[in-house]
Structure 1
Amino acid sequence: MAGRRTGGLGKGLDALIPNKAGGPSKEPAKKTRSAVVKKDKPTEKDNPAAERLVKISSVEPNLNQPRRHFDEDALLELSESIKQYGVLQPLLVSDKKDYFEIIAGERRWRAAKMAGLKEVPVVVKEFTDQEIVEISLIENIQREDLNPIEEAMAYKRLMEEFHLKQDEIADRVAKSRTAVTNSMRLLKLSSKVQEMVIADMISAGHARALLGISDEALQETTAMKVFDEKLSVRETEKLVKNLVSPAKKVKTERNTAEDAIYESLEEKMKGIMGTKVSIQRKKNNKGKIEIEYYSRDELERIIDLFESIR
């Protein structure tokens, strides 16, 4: 992940949840929390941001949170830890009068239920719908819990539902605009290929290479070939290039060292542009450079980049 920025919600969740010790304790936490007043609903005298215990049955997940897939083995591991030490970090919840809705901490809640806990520690805070989406996204990104498609869907929701621009999203999640753009490009894949990304059959890098294939059926069969033959991202890019433009193959005797130099130049330009760049060589040291873009926002970003070189 890119370095965290100091502005907006990208500062992290620690600023939203009180930490009594100034950081996680190195000693095992007690199984009981005698210092916490046990009650399900805060009174007017309570500090709404203070940690408290509530019945686990009164806490429900947010159905609109970005994360959809939870690793059962990882949950079982966490539940065993919770049985021994308890829930070390409280859940961040919103008071919905009849129940508490989870803003951050659904994984801990699920593991606590598996561990058989009757109560869980929570911090009650109120946020706007947009802030809830942002906080859920930030928490999962910080813990690397989202798969690439879930992350892309969350960005899309922030754009469509709350009208945020890609650079605004990037600022909130402490990532580069290029990272957000590349993430959202994955949503252009066929649903079957997206499922393969979710199932970790192919990586996000493989998936971005497959975006060069517009035909969904060919895209899906190529994705299976990548999975079956365990192709690298570079091998996948070459495969896609051959599938898309077989007529452009020109058999020429080229020095392999020269090929390596041009490939290196392509990689450098990709890093600078944040998108796919290809160098097509011709005779007499001539050629052309192709820069791909996948949205109006990305085109404007590339133009801004060129203008900044002046």
Structure 2
Amino acid sequence: MSEDTSRNRLGRGLAALIGDIDRPAPTQAPVPTADRTVPVEFISPNPRNPRRTFADAELEDLSASLKQHGIVQPVVVRPSKTAPGRYEIIAGERRWRAAQRAGLTNIPVIIRDVDDRMALELAIVENVQRADLNPVEEALGYQQLIDEHEYVQSDLAQIIGKSRSHVANTLRLLKLPQNIRDMLVDGSLSAGHARTLVTAEDPTTLAQKIIRDGLSVRQAEALAQKGADKPASASAKHVPDEKDADTRALEQLLSNVIGLNVTVNHREKGGEVRISYKTLEQLDDLCRRLQR
């Protein structure tokens, strides 16, 4: 995917495609108008939806609300490729599931005729903006766009409105063993804690200690560096000058791109980025890159 193509596609604006249907709206903003109503049995979930977990309690609460008020925000769908007259969900699967529990026979929909790539992109954006994805689902969604549609991390950062370091750090969670991912999914571990485990010698033991002792992210980082089998010292509770996992990941990302050692020193107000070179040839190459 070329840079110009990416810019043109992104420049159209996601709001134009989904009509701001799932973003928090101002109090007096009009509700998006549905294109039509469709029987619930004519709608199928998207098997590629990045969201895999639907809490039963949340569905029950939403179902009770739908019984009283109906569906306010239409579900976004696209025409099925294989079954004429049927539709596949792009955004709003939770509402569709709750509507079935509530006994609704028809639901309002907004129809968008988009390809697989855009459908997946819209599903990820909607879920990330609503904070509906757990960290593992978010990472898997990003990886799916990279593997199947040749996205790069800078594209993803633009699409979802996050920093490139956020995308890189989220993707790093996929390096964790499955038992650690399960802890992320059920909420036992936060994404910040999980990032400290990516380079730990024994991530499972450290994860269990984090949960058992209620360690902060900084304490977990200190333990990951010293080894999960060593007890946390008093100094580990206060590591004011220790770089967090995000900063270290950013340093690694910049070092990989430039080919030179990069250090980032962030302070309360401002900071510095330092690039180290060993030869004049490396310096000349860096200057040429910056001039371009």
TM value normalised by structure 1: 0.70
Asked if the contact 2:40–2:106 (Cα under 8 Å) also holds between the matched residues in 1, the reply is: yes
The equivalent residue for 1:129 is 116
**How far does the alpha carbon of each residue in 1:2-21 deviate from its partner, in whole angstroms, 9 at most, with x for none?**
xxx998289544752387xx
Residue identity in the other structure for 2:216: S
Against the structure 1 CA distance between its residues 25 and 120, is the aligned structure 2 distance closer, same or farther, given a 3 Å change threshold? Answer: farther
Distance 1:159 1:220, change over 3 A: same
**Residue deviations 1:232-251, cap 9 Å, x none?**
111111221221797xxxx9
The 2-side partners of 1:225 and 1:163 are apart by 38
> 2:10 aligned with 1:53, yes or no?
no
**Cα distance, 1:184–1:210 mapped onto 2, change above 3 Å:** same
SS in 2 for 1:169: helix
- Write the mapping of 1:260-299 to structure 2, written as runs, cut at 5 A: 263-267=239-243, 270=244, 274-276=246-248, 293=252, 299=256
CA distance in 2, matches of 1:227, 1:98: 50
Cross-structure match for 1:16:
18
Separation in 2 of the partners of 1:80 and 1:245?
A: 49
Shift of 1:95: 1.1
Equivalent pair of 2:39/2:106 in contact (CA under 8 Å): yes
Separation in 1, partners of 2:110, 2:141: 24
Matched residue of 2:247: which SS? coil
Alignment of 1:5-154 (within 5 A): 8=10, 11-13=13-15, 15-17=17-19, 51-96=35-80, 97-154=84-141
**Structure 1, residues 78-120: CA drift from partner, whole Å, max 9, x if none?**
1111111110011111111152100111011011111110000
Q: What is the identity, as a one-letter code, of the residue corresponding to 1:92?
A: V
The residue type paired with residue 196 of structure 2 is A
Q: Which residue does the alignment assign to 2:167?
A: 180
292 and 192 in structure 1: CA distance in 2 versus 1, 3 angstrom threshold: farther
Distance 1:146 1:302, change over 3 A: farther
Q: Distance in 2 between matches of 1:302 and 1:175?
A: 25
Question: What whole-Å deviation, never above 9, does each CA across 1:97-147 have from its counterpart, x for those lacking one?
Answer: 152100111011011111110000011111111101100000000110000
State whether residues 93 and 122 of structure 1, in contact with CA within 8 Å, keep that contact through their aligned partners in structure 2. yes
User: Does the CA-based 8 Å contact 2:17-2:112 persist in structure 1?
Assistant: no
Amino acid aligned to 1:237: E
Q: How far apart are the structure 2 equivalents of 1:229 and 1:94?
A: 48
Instruction: Tell me what 1:41 maps to.
Output: none
One-letter amino acid of the structure 1 residue matched with residue 18 of structure 2 = L
* Residue matched to 1:282: none
Deviations 1:58-86 (A, max 9, x none): 11100111000012111111111111111
User: Do structure 1's residue 300 and structure 2's residue 257 form an aligned pair?
Assistant: yes
Q: 1:213 aligns with which of 178, 185, 200?
A: 200
Give unmatched runs, 5+ long, in structure 1: 30-35, 37-49, 278-290
Distance 2:258 2:138 in 1: 21
Aligned to 2:266: none
**TM (normalized to structure 2)?**
0.74
CA drift at 1:221: 2.0
Distance 1:111 1:77 in 2: 9
Q: Distance in 2 between matches of 1:113 and 1:175?
A: 34
- Is the 1:138–1:173 contact (alpha carbons within 8 Å) kept by the matching residues of 2? yes
Check conservation: 1:104, 1:135, Cα contact below 8 A: yes
Deviations 1:140-187 (A, max 9, x none): 001100000000011111111111110011111111100000000000
RMSD (CA atoms): 3.5
SS of 1:94's equivalent in the other structure is strand
Larger radius of gyration: 1
Looking at structure 2, the residues matched to 73 and 131 of structure 1 have their Cα atoms a distance apart, in angstroms, of 31
Q: Distance in 2 between matches of 1:71 and 1:165?
A: 32
How many residues of Structure 1 are paired with residues of Structure 2 in the alignment? Answer: 249
Query: What does residue 195 of structure 1 align with?
Result: 182
Deviation of residue 309 (structure 1)? Answer: 9.5
Equivalent residues of 1:9, 1:134 under 8 A apart: no
Q: For 1:276, what is the secondary structure of its paired residue? A: helix
Q: What secondary structure does 1:89 align onto?
A: coil
Question: Could you say if the C-alpha distance between residues 58 and 9 of structure 1 is closer, same or farther in structure 2, counting changes exceeding 3 Å?
Answer: farther
1:17–1:92 Cα contact (<8 Å) kept: no
Which whole-Å CA distance do the structure 1 matches of 2:91 and 2:58 have between them? 17
**SS of residue matched to 1:126:** coil
